Structure 1
Amino acid sequence: MPYDDSGWKNFGTYGANRSAENVRGGEALGRALEEALSRQILEGGIKSPVTSHRGLKARLKYLNSDAGIQAMRDAGITVKSRAIRNWFAGKQKPSPANLELVDTAYWNLRTQRILSNLGAFKQHLNNKGKGTAVEIHPINQSLVDDHAVRQNLIGDQAIRTLPSVRYIWDEAVDAMEAGDAQKLEEIWDDIIAELDSDWGAYTYVSYVGLGA
């Protein structure tokens, strides 16, 4: 299962493709971007549960708009408009079932707004020019034929970390959004070029993590 300056030759000949987690670097990068985006949506959201006074009040404040009311309707809330206005005014509390739907509406609307404008996500990754750390895990060789196992890709020393990858994030986010696999591969090649002579071993990987 050798590799050269252009990456792996005949990937899978000796079993590297038997492990579903082993994928091209661009695909792993796309997954890492999606994971980081999900974290931004969740970690930047309201922490208090919807069952608490603070949590409910914060969600209703976020939903107090035409878009928010539509999100509530889309989530399955069927009470009359007057009841919703009373919720916003703090004069009436939703039933337990509607509390859950308010929570669903909040997260749906937050997700929708972030996905419709990924500029904040790009800024997050660019980190004021400091960039984002990228952790690269080599392919999983547990199912590779014994004679073809690459010892230099086993153990913690084979996990590579680039502490501040910069300048590629705007294009990477655009490629993720567009589902442009070829562009993600090109960007991945730019990233692993920083590994110098080892880069060919990481054209296929088992996992990519972003420090963002």
Structure 2
Amino acid sequence: MPQKNLRFGLFGARGIKGGDAVAAQLDRLAGGIATPVTSKRGWTARLNYLTRTDHARAAAKAAGLTVTDRTLKAWREGKRTPSKASLQKIERAYTAVRRQNVARHLLKRLNRDGRGTRIEIHPLNQSQVPQRNKRVLTHRTMNVRKWDRLVGAWAAGDSRELEAGWDDAIGDLGSDWGGYEYVTNVGFAA
């Protein structure tokens, strides 16, 4: 792709990859436990979510939470508390399992039987870029009809595929698509 930004931010532009912005919005739509994992209530709620069924346990194990039943029991009974490393594993596993569980529902709502969902693209921040190097970028809206690749990459935690899915989606912007590889935000609802 000839318009790929090879040295993003060279002149002071700020933003995030469009695929990362889509992932952040999907995470907000997916919801979940609001209490931080560092509090007892937070990690207990996440453990309950990850261990309530055999399917959830298998998904948590696949996501990297490999602790013994004895350790889980000690954590639940308050005899021990998870270490910082274990808390990070709990959070990563919770995020991965939560994404897998809500992906199908979000995909159905975003695709809307082929009608798609309207998104708002907020361009990158060029306030620190010298005037001679600024691009003319405006707030854009467009309709994304096929969310399969984006939601699938989000659920799998695959950032490269998410970026490729974003590039496919913004291809509908025409010749201006290269200016929206990096953005400040992408907004949509499901």
TM range (shorter): 0.5 to 0.7
Residue 32 of structure 2 is aligned to residue 51 of structure 1: no
> Alpha carbons of 1:79 and 1:203: their partners in 2 closer, same or farther (altered >3 Å)?
closer
Taking every aligned residue pair, what percent have the same amino acid on both sides?
17
Query: Does the CA-based 8 Å contact 2:33-2:45 persist in structure 1?
Result: yes
State the shift of 1:124 in Å. 5.0
Alignment equivalent of 1:98, drawn from 82, 87, 110: 82
1:109 partner letter: A
> Alpha carbons of 1:184 and 1:94: their partners in 2 closer, same or farther (altered >3 Å)?
same
State the shift of 1:116 in Å. 4.5
Residue 186 of structure 2 is aligned to residue 209 of structure 1: yes
For residues 1-212 of structure 1, the aligned pairs below 5 Å read 17-19=10-12, 21=14, 28-40=17-29, 44-48=31-35, 50-52=39-41, 58-62=45-49, 63-66=51-54, 67-68=56-57, 71=60, 80=70, 84=73, 87=76, 92-95=77-80, 97-98=81-82, 104=88, 106-116=90-100, 118-126=103-111, 129=115, 131-137=117-123, 140=126, 142-144=128-130, 146-147=131-132, 149=134, 153=136, 159-162=138-141, 165-174=143-152, 177=158, 179-180=160-161, 184-190=166-172, 192-193=173-174, 200=176, 203-205=178-180, 206-207=182-183, 208-212=185-189
Query: Aligned-pair RMSD on alpha carbons?
Result: 4.6
* Structure 2 length-normalised TM: 0.57
Aligned length: 172
- Mind listing any 5+ residue stretches in structure 2 that lack a counterpart? none
Query: Does the CA-based 8 Å contact 1:138-1:159 persist in structure 2?
Result: no
- Mind listing any 5+ residue stretches in structure 1 that lack a counterpart? 1-6, 194-198
